[in-house]
């Protein structure tokens, strides 16, 4: 689960952070309601009770245990369904994955306790903390023109009437954005292709290593290990190329003087928390590897789900286009007014649509922590060394927090709607929460809005008969198999109106 550098390199799914918080303030208040009359643990529904330390409740086992394999087949068959159903068993549930037992935290309030209440016992993240602080609105604002330029170039290659593979296009776009907007470098086309081909092996390898963190297992000549090692070598090459070419400029790698604003320049200027001296090149490289994985895959996945929902909801698509058409528009050669962070911040409907996509399709299906010491989670005591698995998808699809949770409804986030905006802090956390939340959140929101605006002001997405997105859990919750036809449009032109009228 860690790159060669010893740092996690991809989505944080495999980032086994260690918690130890027995008796910590966050652990003192159990937030589960007591057992119901039948003795079955109930989910919290607003009224909470304080559970004293001595009243630890036994952590229940998930049903359906298969000898030797445990619950692994059920988890692999339908990961989201399996984890979602565990909420009915308890707030914390034991699951056997072959030889390993992990505890799944199903209760959103306990997930919050785990990430916020217990986080103070986590080691400081050093460089990562510096980076989080560095993603200021000003820095993100300076990246917006590059994100727009990269997106305009890619969608400029699309042709009227063509059909695109949405996940593939979004993967390429997200990688190019990270490379150019954050590192000020351009990747060679063959390297970008190699990166995309390697990604599934990286994700698979990381998933297996995070669930079974045994050195001996990682050394076995299994296909998953061979694929992972080969994929790591590709990632190494891509990052080397980026570091060699990067930092020259903010956009074209040609040295236009903006180099000091890139993430790469920032990393090179960041002091090592241990020594106070600038990070050495190995540490810079290690952080760059993490950024590549963490900043590419979730964005590509979210954008693919966005188009999936827009194709299914033409009225939403038309309303979104109408709002985006009001944005300043650069000339085709890039001159004139482009998108700005300020202008993007004044798009209430766009914000609701993006929020709703990340609620229904939070990219990180699972995240894993490890208890460094005994940990009290509500009424449950989790022994030291236990893996604590939690899902960001589960609270997002929990009917206790979101009415009709599987319905895509951006207006649920209107302030006056029940649920939605009022759902509470436990119920919406696509970027995680607490000290270890996503480093790139501000950048990601801006990036999603810029891509949506740049695509939808140029193209009307149209469905392709027989094509739909399949939800495949592989590190992130991916949308595979979605095709989309393209019709060129002019701002506010007939395509948007027709789409609205075509809505059943």
Site residues (CB under 6 A) for ligand HEM? Answer: 8, 12, 15, 115, 182, 290-291, 294-295, 298-299, 302, 358, 363-364, 367, 392, 430-432, 436-440, 443-444
Four-point Cα dihedral 407, 409, 414, 418, nearest 10: -20
User: Distance (Å, rounded) from C-alpha 452 to C-alpha 307?
Assistant: 9
By beta-carbon proximity to ligand HEM, the closer residue of 479 and 499 is 479
Residue 468 tokens read as: 């739909």
- Placement of tokens 């937030």 in the chain: 31
By beta-carbon proximity to ligand HEM, the closer residue of 17 and 402 is 17
438 annotated as belonging to a binding site for a ligand: yes
Tell the smallest beta-carbon distance from residue 440 to ligand HEM (Å): 2
Phi/psi at 448 (5° precision) = -60, -45
User: Distance (Å, rounded) from C-alpha 125 to C-alpha 146?
Assistant: 29
Reduce the DSSP state of residue 187 to 3 states and report it: coil
The strand pairing partners of 463, in sequence order, are 484
Which residues in 345-360 are b (16+ Cβ under 10 Å) and which e? Answer: eebebbbbbbbbbbbb
- Placement of tokens 């949506």 in the chain: 452
Nearest-5° Cα angle at 433, 299 to 271: 80
Tell the smallest beta-carbon distance from residue 119 to ligand HEM (Å): 9
Tell the smallest beta-carbon distance from residue 6 to ligand HEM (Å): 12
By beta-carbon proximity to ligand HEM, the closer residue of 298 and 395 is 298
By beta-carbon proximity to ligand HEM, the closer residue of 205 and 430 is 430
User: Distance (Å, rounded) from C-alpha 305 to C-alpha 357?
Assistant: 7
Q: Which residue is nearest to ligand HEM (CB)?
A: 440
CB 129 within 8 A of CB 432: no
By beta-carbon proximity to ligand HEM, the closer residue of 89 and 427 is 427
Tell the smallest beta-carbon distance from residue 457 to ligand HEM (Å): 21
Tell the smallest beta-carbon distance from residue 8 to ligand HEM (Å): 4
- Placement of tokens 């149209």 in the chain: 462
By beta-carbon proximity to ligand HEM, the closer residue of 122 and 317 is 122
CB 375 within 8 A of CB 112: no
Tell the smallest beta-carbon distance from residue 299 to ligand HEM (Å): 5
Q: Which residues are annotated as a binding site?
A: 438
Q: Which residues fall in the annotated binding site for heme? A: 438
């Amino acid at each position: 689960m860690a790159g060669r550098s010893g740092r996690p390199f991809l989505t944080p799914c495999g980032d086994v952070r260690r918690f130890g918080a027995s008796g910590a303030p966050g652990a003192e208040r159990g937030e589960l309601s007591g057992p119901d009359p039948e003795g079955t643990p109930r989910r919290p529904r607003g009224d909470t009770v304080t559970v004293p330390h001595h009243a630890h409740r036994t952590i229940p086992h998930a049903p359906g245990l298969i000898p030797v394999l445990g619950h692994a087949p059920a988890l692999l068959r339908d990961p989201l369904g399996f984890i979602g159903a565990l909420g009915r068993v308890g707030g914390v549930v034991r699951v056997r994955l072959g030889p390993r037992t992990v505890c799944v935290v199903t209760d959103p309030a306990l997930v919050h306790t785990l990430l916020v209440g217990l986080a103070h016992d986590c080691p400081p993240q050093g460089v990562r903390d510096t980076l989080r602080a560095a993603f200021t609105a000003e820095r993100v604002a300076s990246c917006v023109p590059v994100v727009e330029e990269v997106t305009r170039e890619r969608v400029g290659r699309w042709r009227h009437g063509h059909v695109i593979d949405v996940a593939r296009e979004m993967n390429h776009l997200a990688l190019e954005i990270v490379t150019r907007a954050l590192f000020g470098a351009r990747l060679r086309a063959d390297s970008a292709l190699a990166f995309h081909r390697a990604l599934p092996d990286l994700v698979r390898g990381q998933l297996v290593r995070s669930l079974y963190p045994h050195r001996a297992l990682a050394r076995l000549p299994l296909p998953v290990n061979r694929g992972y090692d080969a994929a790591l070598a590709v990632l190494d090459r891509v990052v080397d190329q980026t570091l060699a070419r990067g930092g020259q400029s903010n956009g074209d790698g040609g040295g236009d003087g903006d180099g000091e604003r890139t993430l790469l320049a920032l990393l090179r200027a960041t002091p090592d928390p241990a020594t106070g001296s600038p990070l050495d090149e190995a540490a810079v490289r290690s952080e760059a590897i993490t950024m590549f994985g963490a900043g590419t895959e979730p964005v590509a996945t979210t954008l693919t789900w966005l188009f999936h929902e827009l194709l299914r909801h033409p009225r939403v698509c038309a309303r979104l286009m109408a709002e985006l058409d009001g944005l300043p528009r650069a000339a085709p050669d890039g001159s004139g007014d482009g998108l700005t962070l300020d202008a993007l911040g004044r798009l209430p409907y766009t914000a609701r649509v993006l929020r709703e996509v990340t609620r229904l399709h939070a990219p990180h299906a699972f995240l894993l922590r490890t208890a460094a010491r005994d940990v009290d989670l509500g009424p449950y005591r989790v022994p030291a060394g236990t893996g604590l698995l939690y899902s960001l998808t589960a609270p997002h699809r929990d009917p206790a927090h979101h009415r009709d949770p599987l319905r895509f409804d951006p207006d649920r986030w209107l302030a006056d709607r029940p649920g939605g905006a009022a759902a509470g802090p436990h119920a919406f956390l696509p970027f995680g929460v607490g000290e270890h939340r996503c480093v790139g959140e501000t950048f990601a929101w801006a990036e999603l809005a810029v891509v949506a605006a740049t695509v939808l002001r140029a193209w009307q997405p149209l469905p392709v008969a027989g094509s739909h997105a399949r939800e495949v859990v592989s590190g992130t919750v991916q949308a595979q198999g979605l095709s989309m036809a393209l019709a060129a449009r002019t701002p506010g032109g007939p395509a948007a109106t027709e789409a609205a009228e075509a809505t059943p």
